[in-house]
Structure 1
């Protein structure tokens, strides 16, 4: 069972700031408050170090806020022996958190672009997915952000992005539906204008 959404709007990476960053002590106290609210005692032995562990985990889970996605793509290469066909990276592991419940979003991304004279190191495509994944997200927005950044920085002839992921805010709470993937896509340039190029992208990623 799959939910398919197509986003046709442009979403540039957000540069908004939420204000002064709380101190580590303030963040840890907030975790203790949540533990008490959940019904447990943050002073018991098993939970004494939990606030520190949680804040350290947050730093890792949401490291994308500290990185500029455009900088990741800044170094490009033009010595590609005339290569002018599609570049595809498929099945990129995706781990994110929904901004509504802060529950995990687990899945994979498929990213493609048609170069216009320059290419970027392939690892940078995976890093781009990680940067946007390691933020509080809505899958539709994340799909658009990845595609828009590639389009803005590389200025290729076209970009294609597809994300398929399971949202644990739906599988572990609320409606409790397991094994449901949400699919989102974003196409620009030739992938948007030429149905044959769109179909070729889907064939290359095995869809």
Structure 2
């Protein structure tokens, strides 16, 4: 069984040269099944390449999404509100870029508005967009904070992610129930220890 070599790409725009076709992706999955030692043509596996490619389309849909568009609509009528806006327990479903294994957890995101706010669903959407890409948790944390900082111009942003990595629990050291915490603070969250502490206490309940 052979598969046409393709160059790896970091984008998913169908119009860009070099992106594998769907058939190439299907053939790549067949190759991996054969490499494991199984028969990709047996009954239980014959539809697996299609299912895997469809799943990848869902897991990595963040490459097709535009964070700037999600954060472009803001509201200025906030009656002078200038305190913390915090979203807790945002689901994080991402994949480690080193092993393509899932890491799953929660994100806690806050910002201090200046003259505008954004719909709270858009903050959860930003987390989802960046999560639906090959990632490290450190980069994911930074990207969320940077996007909110750039598009909302808030007084400060705070992001905490708590996740378990299956590249650690199902392979390698096989340590289960070990969670990884990453944080990123900007603006007043970084300069005001009391505000940072308040965010951490509220996030952790």
TM-score (norm 2): 0.91
Corresponding residue number in structure 1 for 2:194: 196
> d(CA) in 1 for partners of 2:91 and 2:11?
27
Distance 1:146 1:40 in 2: 40
Q: Residues of 1 paired with 2:155 and 2:19: CA distance? A: 40
The residue correspondences of 1:79-98 to structure 2 (distance < 5 A) are: 79-98=77-96
Which residue, out of 159, 162, 165, partners 1:161?
159
Aligned partners of 1:155, 1:81: CA distance in 2, in Å? Answer: 18
> Partners of 1:166 and 1:203 in 2: how far apart?
21
Question: 2-side partners of 1:27 and 1:17: how far apart?
Answer: 15
Which consecutive unaligned segments of at least 5 residues does structure 1 have?
1-15
Whole-angstrom CA distance in 1 between matches of 2:28 and 2:203: 43
- Structure 2 gaps of 5+ residues are 1-9
Pick from 140, 149, 156 the counterpart of residue 147 of structure 2: 149
- Which residue pairs with 1:205 in the alignment? 203
CA contact (8 A) 2:11 2:63 kept: no
1:74 maps to 72
Q: Bigger CA drift: 105-114 or 19-28?
A: 19-28
Per the TM alignment, residue 17 of structure 1 is displaced from its structure 2 partner at its CA by 4.1
Deviations 1:29-73 (A, max 9, x none): 000000000110000011111101110100000000001112111
Deviations 1:88-112 (A, max 9, x none): 0011011000000000000000000
Which residue of structure 1 lines up, in the alignment, with residue 138 of structure 2? 140
> Which structure has the higher relative contact order (CA within 8 Å, separation 6+)?
1
Residue 206 (structure 1) shift: 2.4
**Partner deviation per Cα, 1:91-150 (whole Å, 9 max, x = no partner):** 101100000000000000000000011000000111000000000000000000000000
- Partner residue in 2 for 1:13: none
Following TM superposition, by how much is the alpha carbon of 1:203 offset from its aligned partner in structure 2, in angstroms?
Answer: 1.7
TM-score (norm 1): 0.90
Provide the residue aligned with 1:129 in structure 2. Answer: 127
Aligned length: 192
Residues 63 and 17 of structure 1, relative CA distance in 2, 3 Å threshold = closer
